[in-house]
Structure 1
Amino acid sequence: MSDLFTRLKKITMCLCAIILSFATYSLAYAKPDLKPLGPSIADHGSSYYQFQVHSFQSADQQRHYKVWLGIPKQINKNQPRPAIFMLDGNSVMARLDEALLKQLPEQDSPVLVAIGYQTQLPFESASRSVDYTPADESGKISVDPRNPERMSGGSLQFRQTIFEKVMPWVHSQVKLDTRRTALWGHSYGGLFVLDTLLNHQQHEQKFSHYFAASPSLTWADSRLLKAVERAKPEALKNQKLLVMEGDFASSTPAKMSPNIDQDMIQNNRQLVLDLASKGANAKLLLYPNLSHGDVFQASLMDILQNRLF
């Protein structure tokens, strides 16, 4: 990962282009657009990737998942491939297009695993609230402190679904390089990435790189930050984490979503410092003039186009 961060300087100009494209319409922490999605690249077909779709359900049968698996067409099937597992898969698939897939290096193009829900919406808010957030001291699914109409605290069960159902299916279709298998998530998904990192010793190491994009660190009275404080150094040594955040915030309350963190940069810096002090290879990447919502697209494109794992 050392060379990863030396390359970050080289992509500054590329990021500027991304920043400018968002700056014209960015509203800090604006609520996401929940209009139904149209067909994705998986429906249209690609000259560069072969897509498969599989359905899964949660252990309690309350949440229904749709997982897209994208395998590069021009590969040596006997050679393990790098891979990235991406949360909010419906919205991810809406952002993948032929131009992007064409840009990915043919000899090193990653396997794409987008984990979403059985919905036409870009985000399944109630389900992700359960799946992406860590439980309280009870260890049980309970009311979401930030959104009382939703439930939360099911990250352990969701992780088991990924490890016990999704991953075996992926491995049955393509060989993965365990040294280059990444996990990416945004907002509540960023919490899930961090929670998975903190609990990686409870299961066989599944991910080599963790990407937490604009994680909602103040959720539930900063439950995740407190978990980091309690974490033992031996559980974090040499774990590779990149926290990705925008530095643009609005002072207009009407334009802020419930996930706003007024101290986002300070909290992210403290998170990275705490993890690094316990032996993790943790870094913070700031995107100038991008908001919480903008970081979804910017971080994902950055990882894919610039091969950050």
Structure 2
Amino acid sequence: MLRFAATVLLVVLSGFGVQSTQAQTVKEARKVESFDLRADRTGLDYRVFLVHPAEPPPPGGYPVIYMLDGNATVPMMERVIGANPQEPYGSAVIVGIGYPIDGPFDILRRYRDLTPPTPPEFIPPSRDGASIIETGGRDDFLTFVETQVIPAVETRLPIDPQRRTLFGHSLGGLFSLYVLYTKGDLFQTYVAADPAIWWNGQAILGEQAAFLERSKGEGVAHGTALLIETSGKLVERPLPPADAERLKRLRSGQTGREVAATLATVPGLRLVFHEFVEESHGSMLPLAVADALGFAFGRNPD
């Protein structure tokens, strides 16, 4: 697994601001642009962060890593890559799919975009106890990624369409599994970091069963790879006792570990499972981002 360098260089993204002279050097080495797209199906606005490598493209085009929660995860990835990237990581195009906000996460938007329609009894209490959580937008979001984000990136840079990676954490990890199960040829490499298998009464396991049935015999497309990572420490959210108990019940059941064990039977799938024993759901995120870079280039976590 790639670890953070002792001297962390911050990339300059639109909305994040220049932090130092070193940061300016990173910006000049790996050009970063951001642009907004309005989803055709929903009319919702998104912000796409696109990192251009400084070096010329390989003969087949650049490999590309698409990162959900891009406002937060693209800066993490650029810290990993650094100002003087180790070969071959400098050739990676990084695409963050995020939101037109100043902060790292749009919690309510990601609930909608990354989930199936979810009955109220399966929706956890909101963080502030008052916000209404909307769900059910994952197919609209997947269509947006496939028909608008990917074409927008591939008109700007020469991309190798056989070297696409999708990274997601938590609900994003759940979404990554959903894409693999239902439209697996859209990406070749998938990273599901602490996927929220529990969501919607573990409904993803039904989609997993259908995927397993389809995969019998022929397996998956050549070169398909999946990295599942989980955290080892539970950090309880401060909630009233009744809400805390309800959340605990909702989050029970299978985790990424059990899913990885089940998917190990899929013919042709390069599957790797890794647990961050000493990390929590939140603290593992930058480490999972670092692992995603190596995994996209064929390297397994340490």
- The TM-score normalised by the length of structure 2 is 0.76
Runs of 5+ in structure 2 lacking a partner? Answer: 6-14, 127-131
Number of the residue aligned with 2:226: 241
Q: Where does 1:188-203 land on structure 2 (aligned, <5 Å)?
A: 188-200=171-183
Q: Where does 1:15-54 land on structure 2 (aligned, <5 Å)?
A: 38-39=16-17, 46-54=27-35
CA distance in 2, matches of 1:73, 1:194: 32
How far does the alpha carbon of each residue in 1:246-273 deviate from its partner, in whole angstroms, 9 at most, with x for none? 11124x5638895998668x62222112
Give the superposition deviation at 1:296. 1.3
Match of 2:293, SS state, is helix
- Find the partner of 2:123 among 145, 148, 152: 145
Tell me the matched-pair count.
Answer: 267
CA contact (8 A) 1:78 1:175 kept: no
CA distance in 2, matches of 1:304, 1:240: 13
- Find the partner of 1:254 among 215, 222, 238: 238
Identical positions, percent: 22
- Find the partner of 1:227 among 207, 210, 215: 207
The alignment status of 1:207 with 2:192, answered yes or no, reads: no
Give the superposition deviation at 1:51. 1.5
- The TM-score normalised by the length of structure 1 is 0.75
CA distance in 2, matches of 1:282, 1:98: 26
Taking structure 1 as reference, are residues 63 and 40 closer, same or farther at Cα in structure 2, changes over 3 Å only? Answer: farther
The alignment status of 1:57 with 2:38, answered yes or no, reads: yes
Q: Where does 1:245-284 land on structure 2 (aligned, <5 Å)?
A: 245-250=230-235, 254=238, 267-279=255-267, 280-284=269-273
User: What RMSD, in angstroms, separates the aligned Cα atoms of the two structures?
Assistant: 3.2
CA distance in 2, matches of 1:176, 1:242: 22
Taking structure 1 as reference, are residues 88 and 40 closer, same or farther at Cα in structure 2, changes over 3 Å only? Answer: farther
How far does the alpha carbon of each residue in 1:89-147 deviate from its partner, in whole angstroms, 9 at most, with x for none? 111134355673325335552000000001112111111111111346xxxxx767225
CA contact (8 A) 1:146 1:220 kept: no
Taking structure 1 as reference, are residues 40 and 186 closer, same or farther at Cα in structure 2, changes over 3 Å only? Answer: farther
How far does the alpha carbon of each residue in 1:29-51 deviate from its partner, in whole angstroms, 9 at most, with x for none? xxxxxxxx74278x956132112
Runs of 5+ in structure 1 lacking a partner? Answer: 1-10, 19-36, 137-141
The alignment status of 1:130 with 2:112, answered yes or no, reads: yes
CA distance in 1, matches of 2:261, 2:88: 36
